[in-house]
């Protein structure tokens, strides 16, 4: 069964610094991978997704992620953190033809002024 | 587009009472998903529908939980009787058919349920 592991339940970065949120997947077949963001008291919103096209995926709000098959990773990055990036971020995986999304445990990102 | 609509946004009830959560998916979306989010278990898929038909309910925790989708614009998740361990945020999400399983799921704002 597919699964994702998010390393670090809490990450703090200074405003303007690089954001790096880690996600490793486990899947028996080439997966589809997603990053969602959840702002306080809101539902989840898609940031970006990998669906076996380009391995470097660009999303909204300046975020991007790179699919690395050799490392089974799909880490999320942003060159310069903004205060508005403070939220919880979830990595998720699904397989071709499988409607289910399996979510990681989430990483809470705090931005230090 | 109004997005996925959920009601109520907050529900506080006493153990043993029946609870009904409601969801209106985005118009034209063929799939509807119910999730539960807790600190202990994270975000879990409970059940999903395709064209109003339940496809997979393997995530429904117990027989106390039931979900229906009587038409394309409305779904309910019912808990009867409710227990304190059911306290969680329940999300509804919908997505269109066209993009297949890679298409984006659109989440509602959630219902925060507290069972005393």
Residue with tokens 């809490």: A10
Residue in B10, B57, B107 to test binding to A, most A beta-carbons within 10 Å: B107
Percent of chain A exceeding pLDDT 70 equals 96
Which pLDDT band, with edges at 50, 70 and 90, does A95 fall under? confident
Residue in A101, A105, A107, A108 to test binding to B, most B beta-carbons within 10 Å: A101
- Quote the CA–CA distance of B77 and B111 in Å, as a whole number: 11
| B102 interfaces chain A, CB cutoff of 8 Å | yes
> Is A94 a residue whose pLDDT tops 90?
no
Q: CA of B34: how far to CAs of A82, A89, B96, in Å?
A: 32, 19, 15
Query: What value does the mean pLDDT take over residues A3-11?
Result: 92
Closest CA of chain B from A113, distance in Å: 27
Between chain A and chain B, how many beta carbons pairs sit less than 8 Å apart? 51
Closest CB to B109 among A42, A95, A106: A42
Nearest C-alpha in A relative to B30:
A99
The predicted pLDDT at position B101 comes to: 64
The predicted pLDDT at position B99 comes to: 64
The predicted pLDDT at position B10 comes to: 96
- Quote the CA–CA distance of B101 and A97 in Å, as a whole number: 6
Query: What value does the mean pLDDT take over residues A83-95?
Result: 93
A112, A16 in Cβ contact below 8 A? no
Could you say which residues of chain B have pLDDT below 70?
Answer: 1, 98-102
Nearest C-alpha in B relative to A43:
B109
Query: What value does the mean pLDDT take over residues A26-49?
Result: 88
Q: CA of A49: how far to CAs of A20, A102, B29, B39, B96, in Å?
A: 16, 14, 19, 25, 16
Q: What is the mean pLDDT of chain A?
A: 91
Residue with tokens 């069972």: B115
Cβ contacts of A36 on chain B, cutoff 8 Å: 107
**Edge-to-edge strand ranges of the sheet holding A73-78:** A3-7, A19-26, A73-78, A64-68, A56-58
Q: A79: how many CB neighbours lie within 10 A of its CB?
A: 11
Q: Which residues pair with B112 in a beta bridge?
A: B10, B89
The predicted pLDDT at position B111 comes to: 96
**Are the Cβ atoms of A99 and B102 closer than 8 angstroms?**
no
The predicted pLDDT at position A59 comes to: 93
Percent of chain A exceeding pLDDT 90 equals 69
């Amino acid at each position: 069964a597919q699964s994702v592991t998010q390393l670090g339940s809490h990450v703090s970065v200074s405003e303007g610094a690089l954001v790096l949120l880690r996600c490793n997947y486990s899947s028996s077949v080439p997966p589809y991978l997603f990053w969602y963001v959840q702002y306080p008291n809101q539902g989840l919103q898609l940031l970006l997704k990998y669906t076996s096209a380009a391995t470097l995926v660009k999303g909204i709000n300046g975020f991007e992620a790179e699919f690395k098959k050799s490392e089974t990773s799909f880490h999320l990055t942003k060159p310069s953190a903004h205060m508005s990036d403070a939220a919880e971020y979830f990595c998720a995986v699904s397989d071709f033809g499988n409607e289910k999304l399996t979510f990681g445990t989430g990483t809470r990102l705090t931005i230090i002024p | 587009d109004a997005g996925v609509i959920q009601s109520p946004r907050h529900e506080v009830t006493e153990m043993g009472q029946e609870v009904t959560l409601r969801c209106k998916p985005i118009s034209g979306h063929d799939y509807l998903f119910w999730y539960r989010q807790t600190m202990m278990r994270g975000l879990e898929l409970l059940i999903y529908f395709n064209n109003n038909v339940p496809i997979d309910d393997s995530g429904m925790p117990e027989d106390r939980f039931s979900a229906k989708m009587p038409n394309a614009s409305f779904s309910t998740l019912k808990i009867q009787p409710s227990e304190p361990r059911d306290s969680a945020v329940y999300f509804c999400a919908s997505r269109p058919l066209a993009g297949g399983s890679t298409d984006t799921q659109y989440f509602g704002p959630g219902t925060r349920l507290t069972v005393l």
